[in-house]
Chain A
Amino acid sequence: MELSVLFFLTSGLFLGWALGANDAANVFGTAVGTRMIRFTTAAVVCTVFVILGAVISGAGTTETLGKLGAIDALPGSFMAAFAAALAVYLMTKAGLPVSTTQAIVGAIIGWNLFTDTVTDPTALAKILSTWLISPILAAGFAMVLFKATTMVLARARLHLIRLDAYTRLGLLLAGAFGAYSLGANNIANVMGVFVPASPFTDFEFAGLFTFSSTEQLFLLGALAIGLGVVTYSKRVMMTVGTGIMPLSPVAAWVVVMSHSMVLFLFASQGLESFLQSNGLPTIPLVPVSSSQAVVGAVLGIALLKGGRGIRWRVVGGIGAGWVVTPLIAGVVCFIGLFFLQNVFDQKVHAGGPGKEPLAVFSAPAGTAVGPDPAPARKRPL
């Protein structure tokens, strides 16, 4: 692979790093912040399970993101991921809560507008509606789970010290589940835009299984997320615990579980096929915001307790981020693509002007803007 291919992938890796730095705190923040779990343990478990989730179950949400706009030229993918990462970075700098999901969707729409590609209204509606549904669903899960947990605990009459030990184990397992779900659901944000233009090729592993180009991309993205977790998430974790309202360790467990269940539901192809085979309505596989799921879950518990102690200003800030993040990413992507195409003479979409960036990249460039990126990655490069 040429060096320039790696260069184009760096924006995705940057976005992955930002996601790891920010969203790992949603999974392990309270546990580490309250010193129930050591940061080192949290970072290792988080990284391993994010990688597993991304490589094993990352395809579902990527497909949906691909339907929104299959970016078919590597420089275009580079700019989309870069715009998203910049939006995430700027919002984080401004101290506003941010979602990589919303950033990348904004960036893809920016690419669509620049390349005159029609944004699939069904896919967009599906994604937008899940943004609304996911915090509500997380709140619902949190309410049920919190009620059930407190009832069980009241009945079990565990010793305070024993409860502490169970809570630690619970937080560790919930964190692992959360990290898996985060990897499965959010890898699409990091590497989704590169899938139709993947520079990798499939290869068989000792004739046992095929390691597809998409999976290789996901592994790379997951490693970037892991790097973000290890290098930068500690600071976020130490401050996240009391963001919206102070939580007890048991409530923190409920929040992590509810968040993870929501992310898992919107990422699990297994669950989708199970529902389909039983004639039940399916859940769309859409990348949702980990931060908003957490906010939903915390609000669920707060409402159950009568709504006291909620810092509505923080909640309002999160709501504002909902609109501002995709807007920034979209505008940055549009402007960035203009420069990339007209100043640097790069082909930002398959049918557009500019030179082909790389020889190895010529085959996917011929790929039409399709609803499903899967056929594109099967083409020989």
Chain B
Amino acid sequence: MELTKNISLFRRTRALENEIDEFLDKLSQSSLHFKIAVKVYLRDRCTTDFENKLQDVNKMESEADHLRRAIETKLYAQTLIPESRGDVLGLIENLDHLLNLFEGALWAFSIEKPEIPDEYHADYETLSDMAVESVEALVLASRAFFRNIEAVGDHNHKVMFYEKEADKVSTKLKKAIFNSELDLSRKAQLRNFVEHIDNIPDWAEDVADRLAIYAIKRTV
């Protein structure tokens, strides 16, 4: 009875494994779309190309939401991984928040259409690159959490590294903006866009910190 249940359990676990992998793929792809979208915006501002990228991220976000709900339901309905269920749930939800941050930042660009002076373009782009790199490293750390627990640390330290670098760039950028002759309203708007992007590596670092604890819990 339980044996046949276990055999069908193997089939169902394969499906769940795929869903988790797919969810992480969506996050990784969103970050790459985001990177291109920021580049496009800085180069051409709010063009169709940019809107298309926004739609891509939008689609990824809603697909990832579906996957997240499916994963969470299966974890609880099938009472899987009782020891790590809460941790996995927390991880998936925190990763999902990164997708919201990507989407939110691009929507802000699309709605407010900020005019970013050319001299800040390079720093905005670097900031966006650091944000994306930190998320990419976090995706690898998360994959390692599921398959190769010892490797979590190898990727986590990169998340910390990119977050620090992003902090440096954002501070430099904010100083440059507020030392400029721009109107205070524009300064505030440009600062907001720095923070929209900088929030991404900050959140990635928080998730990486929790992931490190989840990993320790699993090895005990």
B-contacting 9-mer, from A55-63, A114-122, A163-171, A315-323: A163-171
Would you call A35 an interface residue if the criterion is a C-beta within 8 Å of the partner chain's C-beta atoms? yes
Give the residues in chain A near B17, CB-CB below 8 Å: 159, 161-162
Query: Which parts of B61-101 form the interface with A (CB within 8 Å)?
Result: 79-84, 88
Would you call B52 an interface residue if the criterion is a C-beta within 8 Å of the partner chain's C-beta atoms? no
- Bound CA span A162–B11, Å: 10
Interchain CB contact under 8 A, B83 and A168 = no
Interchain CB contact under 8 A, B83 and A41 = no
Q: A173's closest neighbor in chain B, by CB?
A: B3
Interchain CB contact under 8 A, B10 and A165 = yes
The binding surface of chain A is classed by DSSP as helix
Q: A163's closest neighbor in chain B, by CB?
A: B81
Interchain CB contact under 8 A, A41 and B2 = yes
Nearest-neighbour CB distance to chain B for A49, whole angstroms, equals 13
Contact of A34 among B6, B83, B150 (CB under 8 A): B83
Among A35, A158, A161, A172, max chain B CB count under 10 A is at A161
Once A and B bind, how many residue pairs between them come within 8 Å at the CB atom?
A: 58
Interchain CB contact under 8 A, B13 and A169 = no
Q: A158 with B147: in contact, given A36-B82, A248-B83 (CB under 8 Å)?
A: yes
Interchain CB contact under 8 A, B83 and A249 = yes
Interchain CB contact under 8 A, A35 and B79 = yes
Contact pattern, B 1-28, Cβ under 8 Å of A = 1, otherwise 0: 1110010011001101100100000000
Interchain CB contact under 8 A, A160 and B145 = yes
Would you call A280 an interface residue if the criterion is a C-beta within 8 Å of the partner chain's C-beta atoms? no
Q: B20's closest neighbor in chain A, by CB?
A: A161
- Bound CA span A37–B82, Å: 10
Contact pattern, A 138-173, Cβ under 8 Å of B = 1, otherwise 0: 000000000000000010011111101100110010
Q: A157 with B80: in contact, given A41-B2, A172-B6 (CB under 8 Å)?
A: no
Query: Which parts of B87-117 form the interface with A (CB within 8 Å)?
Result: 88
Would you call B146 an interface residue if the criterion is a C-beta within 8 Å of the partner chain's C-beta atoms? yes
Interchain CB contact under 8 A, B82 and A35 = yes
Would you call A108 an interface residue if the criterion is a C-beta within 8 Å of the partner chain's C-beta atoms? no
Would you call A45 an interface residue if the criterion is a C-beta within 8 Å of the partner chain's C-beta atoms? yes
Contact of B146 among A35, A36, A44, A159 (CB under 8 A): A159
Nearest-neighbour CB distance to chain A for B28, whole angstroms, equals 18
Contact of B2 among A158, A161, A172 (CB under 8 A): A172
Give the residues in chain B near A169, CB-CB below 8 Å: 3, 6
Would you call B213 an interface residue if the criterion is a C-beta within 8 Å of the partner chain's C-beta atoms? no
Interchain CB contact under 8 A, A164 and B150 = no
Interchain CB contact under 8 A, A159 and B147 = yes
- Bound CA span A157–B147, Å: 5
Interchain CB contact under 8 A, B2 and A157 = no
Nearest-neighbour CB distance to chain B for A375, whole angstroms, equals 42
Nearest-neighbour CB distance to chain A for B16, whole angstroms, equals 5
Q: B71's closest neighbor in chain A, by CB?
A: A161
- Bound CA span A49–B82, Å: 26
Nearest-neighbour CB distance to chain B for A173, whole angstroms, equals 9
Give the residues in chain A near B13, CB-CB below 8 Å: 159, 161-162, 164-165
Q: A41 with B1: in contact, given A36-B82, A160-B81, A249-B83 (CB under 8 Å)?
A: yes
Nearest-neighbour CB distance to chain A for B2, whole angstroms, equals 5
- Bound CA span A82–B218, Å: 45
Contact pattern, A 41-53, Cβ under 8 Å of B = 1, otherwise 0: 1001100000000
Give the residues in chain A near B1, CB-CB below 8 Å: 41, 44
Interchain CB contact under 8 A, A37 and B146 = no
Interchain CB contact under 8 A, A168 and B145 = no
Interchain CB contact under 8 A, A161 and B146 = yes
Interchain CB contact under 8 A, A160 and B88 = yes
Give the residues in chain B near A35, CB-CB below 8 Å: 79, 82
Would you call B148 an interface residue if the criterion is a C-beta within 8 Å of the partner chain's C-beta atoms? yes
Interchain CB contact under 8 A, A157 and B148 = yes
Interchain CB contact under 8 A, A34 and B82 = yes
- Bound CA span A281–B145, Å: 47
Interchain CB contact under 8 A, A37 and B2 = yes
Give the residues in chain B near A154, CB-CB below 8 Å: 150
- Bound CA span A154–B144, Å: 12
Give the residues in chain B near A172, CB-CB below 8 Å: 2-3, 6
Chain B interface (Cβ within 8 Å of chain A)? 1-3, 6, 9-10, 13-14, 16-17, 20, 79-84, 88, 145-148, 150, 218, 220
Question: Can you give 13 A-B contacts (C-beta < 8 A)?
Answer: A41-B1, A157-B148, A159-B147, A160-B145, A160-B218, A161-B80, A161-B81, A162-B13, A162-B14, A165-B9, A168-B6, A169-B3, A249-B83
Given contact pairs A162-B14, A164-B81, a sample of 17 additional A-B residue pairs in the complex whose CB atoms are under 8 Å apart: A35-B79, A36-B82, A41-B2, A45-B2, A158-B147, A160-B88, A161-B13, A161-B20, A161-B80, A162-B10, A162-B13, A165-B6, A165-B80, A168-B6, A172-B3, A172-B6, A248-B83
